[in-house]
């Protein structure tokens, strides 16, 4: 079976992104890719040999996306887009495509690019009886997206391989692992929660990192296992500190209790 390749990450200004050195509990690579694939962060869909004109606003950017229970990625694109036109007659493994997902921190910190993920596979239109089910999944993932009507097309990306390069490191992900992975339960609320922590709990966050001697400390990432804070002083390099919750959390209510416990320990 042909497996579309994924180019390794390029070298850019974010190559100095701090990496974890502590022995912290962490989501698996498959869970991290699945979380990004089902999130609302920026994504770009490319078809090798039929690249869109990236000078056109929105070219190659799906209007909505989600992942089916079987692990296929559903994409909503304009009916007149290159992706819709090229895939109109695609069958099975005829048309290779790659979706690149870029995750940028929702708070102001040095090195805001938190990571990238690549999901490669085969692109086909959603056809027949699958259309109603896929439309419902996309509508649940993006309620404001124009799923109904003739001006949009639903496409299916059957995953052949995936790769992630993020705060935890770099790792390849097999399609079966991607299909069975679950997205982080806090992902939909993470941006709002981090912004709230940065704006309303700055002193408590700094208290967590008192032993580091940082002048600035900003909450950078949040998942069910814990909180990551980025700190720096003067012109020196920034560093990350990870704070595990006593137990993994699954809801915002559980997160509040976990954060209160962290802040109490920091105080």
Distance of CA 253 to the CA centre of its chain: 23
Q: Give percent of the chain with pLDDT exceeding 90.
A: 72
Residue 14 CB burial class (10 angstroms; 0-12, 13-18, ≥19): middle
So what's the pLDDT on residue 89? Answer: 86
Assigned token pair, 229: 């804070």
Tell me the torsion sign for CA atoms 93, 155, 116, 53: positive
Are 70 and 157 a contacting pair, CB within 8 Å? no
Instruction: Give the closest residue to 72 by CA, choosing from 170, 158, 167.
Output: 158
Q: How far apart are CA 137 and CA 143, in angstroms?
A: 10
- pTM to 2 decimals? 0.88
Residues 78-87 have a mean pLDDT of 91
So what's the pLDDT on residue 42? Answer: 94
With a cut of 90, say whether residue 118 has pLDDT above it: yes
Task: Return the higher-pLDDT residue of 137 and 23.
Answer: 137
Residues 165-191 have a mean pLDDT of 96
So what's the pLDDT on residue 4? Answer: 37
Q: How far apart are CA 143 and CA 102, in angstroms?
A: 22
């Amino acid at each position: 079976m042909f497996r579309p390749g994924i180019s390794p990450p390029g070298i850019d200004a974010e190559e100095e992104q701090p990496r974890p050195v502590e022995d912290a509990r962490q989501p698996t690579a498959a869970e991290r890719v699945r979380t990004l694939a089902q999130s609302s962060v920026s994504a770009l869909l490319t078809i090798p040999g039929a690249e869109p004109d990236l000078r056109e606003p929105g070219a190659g950017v799906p209007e909505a996306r989600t992942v089916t229970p079987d692990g296929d990625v559903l994409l909503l694109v304009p009916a007149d887009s290159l992706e819709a036109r090229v895939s109109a007659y695609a069958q099975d493994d005829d048309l290779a495509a790659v979706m690149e997902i870029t995750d940028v921190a929702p708070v102001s910190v040095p090195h805001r690019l938190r990571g990238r993920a690549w999901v490669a596979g085969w692109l086909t239109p959603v056809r027949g009886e699958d259309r109603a089910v896929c439309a419902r999944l996309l509508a649940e993932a993006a309620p404001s997206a124009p799923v109904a009507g003739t001006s949009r097309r639903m496409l299916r990306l059957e995953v052949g391989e995936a790769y992630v390069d993020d705060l935890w490191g770099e790792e390849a992900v097999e399609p079966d692992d991607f299909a069975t992975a679950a997205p982080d339960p806090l992902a939909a609320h993470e941006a709002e929660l981090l912004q709230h922590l940065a704006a309303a709990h700055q002193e408590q966050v700094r208290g967590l990192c008192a032993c580091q001697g940082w002048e600035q400390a900003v909450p950078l990432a949040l998942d069910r296992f814990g909180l990551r804070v980025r700190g720096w002083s003067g012109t020196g390099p920034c560093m990350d500190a990870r704070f595990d919750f006593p137990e993994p959390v699954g809801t915002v209510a559980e997160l509040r209790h976990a954060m209160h416990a962290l802040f109490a320990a920091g105080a």
